[in-house]
Amino acid sequence: MRRGVSLCALLAALVFHGSEAAAQARGQGWSVLTGRTVGSNDNVVHVQVGWPGVSVALLHGMTPKVDLGGIFNFNYGIEGDVNADIEPGIKMQMLLRMLLVDSGRLNFGMWFAPGPLFYFRSGYRALIGFTTPIGFEFGIPVSPSANVNLGLDLPFWFYFNRGNGAVIPILMGGGVEYFVEHNLAVTFNLKMGPAIYTNSGVADFDLLALMGIAVKL
């Protein structure tokens, strides 16, 4: 009898532990920083502030594995180049996010955000260009309320005037996504690396450091 009770207690403990681990692995079920998407037919607004500026993204879950939306950026640092002169500018980008792999404890996805960019400096012609950034994100749900991500961004961009040219930034880093509530998350994203200017061969230091709030509508 005692052996039977002990066995039942052991099974109950294993089930509880498995359920708790599964809950931690699932997290809140949606994300704006990791490889996971926002969820089928769901809408999320993600506002970020920091360097190189301010961005507002709107995402719609087209399927459980695909998000489609757009980003509006107001920047005061030219595409994150900390060595460049301060120039205010705007970018208007389409945003596509795709979940490629999700094991529960780990997830992996990619994003693509093409669009035009314009920077304005007093006494100079406006810098006109186009950006075709692509990124890859590994996500780790560390608890039901927190995700950690590690990522590689390749925010390639080119410009049509001021001598013409292209820039190839290679940024690595990560971030944290903390869910205050199921539909509200606070985010922090930090990536850095070289930005290679193809017309001169110069490599400047490029930085992305943004804090944000994501709201599922």
Q: Which domain holds residue 54?
A: 2-216
Interatomic CA distance for residues 185 and 182, integer angstroms = 8
Of 207, 205, 210, 199, which Cα lies nearest the Cα of 83?
205
Query: Per DSSP, which regions of the chain are E strands?
Result: 43-51, 53-63, 66-77, 86-102, 107-112, 115-119, 127-131, 134-143, 146-154, 157-159, 165-169, 171-181, 184-197, 203-216
Q: How many CB atoms lie within 10 A of CB 151?
A: 24
Cα of 2 vs its chain's centroid, Å: 54
CATH of the domain at 91: 2.40.160.20
Count up the domains in the chain and report the number: 1
The tens place of each residue's pLDDT in the chain, 217 residues long, gives 444 444 344 334 433 344 344 444 456 889 999 999 999 999 999 999 999 999 999 999 999 999 999 999 999 989 999 998 888 999 999 999 999 999 989 999 999 999 999 999 877 788 899 999 999 999 999 999 999 999 999 999 999 887 788 999 999 999 999 999 999 999 999 999 999 999 888 899 999 999 999 999 9
